Amino acid sequence: MTPPPHPSTFLSAGVADALRAKAGEAEVMRDLHPDQLALIYIQQWFRMLLPENPLSLSQLVRLEEGISWADGSVGWTVTLCSGAGWFAGFFPPGAFPDIFSDRQLCLAGSGAPSGEAHITPGGYRISGRWDYASGALHATAFTANCIILENGQKVLRDDGSPLVRPFLFRKEEVLVDKNWNTIGLIATGSHAFEVRNAEIPADRCWDIAPSQAKANHPIYRYPFLQLAEATLAANLSGMGMHFLDCATTFFHQRSDSGRVPVNAAGEMNAALEEAQDIIQAKRMEFYKALDHSWERQTDFDAVSGCSRRLVTEVRRMVDKLYPYGGLGAARPDTEINRVWRDLHTASQHNLLVFGR
């Protein structure tokens, strides 16, 4: 396989510069900048997994790596919100036109089963609170998982585990709690949200088993777990490649200024070269497994393994390089520091930490 190109090649000319130009302001605002959102709407990135014209998995992951290379917060928000848009493929065609036809559609949500859905004659009565809904401040609708209850008792699966189902909520049914407070991905606005005793009709509950997809496209028959793992890994890879680019510039400046001795500069640049080689090798392994899995709709576990190994090596190499940046890299107003903070915040996602 030919080594994958730099993530910058996955974006149209000028897009990365436009996103980065507002990254600092977005951090101060603690939300995506209006200019960044305007570009997202023009590109229709939040809608790229809707049944009207979904991308293939191979196209999707490369684009998301490119966006995350341009700016971590934009990449993360686009990935999570477009990923929630994938759920539209499990509703009947034409369902909820007031939601899915919105050109500024943005679905925020959570996969945590931290809500309760009590079965009622007309559907469900739902209460719950969910953390970390990226894009919550500009979301047009929300999705969330709930444990199903009937007559006050949990409904159980055949294996004895509680039945969990996702639900679609309209914006006016949700209360957003602006509690997002982390060192990175600040502009994602990944706030908590609540639903309190909302009466939700049964047609806003669905099952994401591939056999339940209503849209006729292979993206909806691809397992959700590996779809999520691959897209999140692409985000970390994009941020990692951005860090390498920043480090290259930063290290050259330190060497040229004479602030580090010649032998130290040699060690620093050797570490950078090693990191570039290792991350590129893991990207190649990742894309090989991803493309094979997508084309043949098989070998899904290989995607899981390659996704985790890519994330592990990106995190390890970035942490090895970071000290060479000196105190300049520790300043929160520098690009290299923002990328470092974004990457380390993103890498805390449970899917990227725990084994299965």
Q: 240 in a domain, yes or no?
A: yes
Q: Which helix (H) or strand (E) element contains residue 341?
A: helix 335-346
Question: Domain end: 166, 183, 211, which one?
Answer: 211
CATH of the domain at 127: 2.40.110.10
Reduce the DSSP state of residue 161 to 3 states and report it: coil
Full domain range(s) for residue 233: 223-352
Predicted confidence at residue 257, as pLDDT, reads 80
What does pTM read for this prediction?
Answer: 0.96
CA distance 47 to 55: 10
| Tokens, residue 282 | 């893991």
Same domain, 265 and 348: yes
**Contact 297/218 with Cβ under 8 angstroms?**
yes
Q: 138 in a domain, yes or no?
A: yes
Q: For the chain, which residues score pLDDT lower than 50?
A: none
Q: 146 in a domain, yes or no?
A: yes
Q: Report the share of the chain in percent with pLDDT over 90.
A: 92
CATH of the domain at 11: 1.10.540.10
Same domain, 68 and 130: no
**Dihedral (CA of 137, 142, 144, 150) sign:** positive
As for how many domains the chain has, the answer is: 3
- The number of residues in the chain equals 356
| Tokens, residue 307 | 């996704």
Q: 98 in a domain, yes or no?
A: no
CA distance 261 to 178: 47
Give the chain's mean pLDDT: 96
Same domain, 341 and 274: yes
Same domain, 290 and 177: no
Same domain, 229 and 340: yes
Q: 101 in a domain, yes or no?
A: no
Q: 320 in a domain, yes or no?
A: yes
Predicted confidence at residue 356, as pLDDT, reads 55
Same domain, 34 and 14: yes
Same domain, 126 and 36: no
Same domain, 288 and 345: yes
Distances, alpha carbon 74 to alpha carbons 178, 183, 213, in Å: 18, 16, 28
Same domain, 130 and 201: yes
CATH of the domain at 306: 1.20.140.10
Predicted confidence at residue 285, as pLDDT, reads 98
Q: 270 in a domain, yes or no?
A: yes
Predicted confidence at residue 330, as pLDDT, reads 95
Distances, alpha carbon 75 to alpha carbons 325, 337, 347, in Å: 24, 17, 14
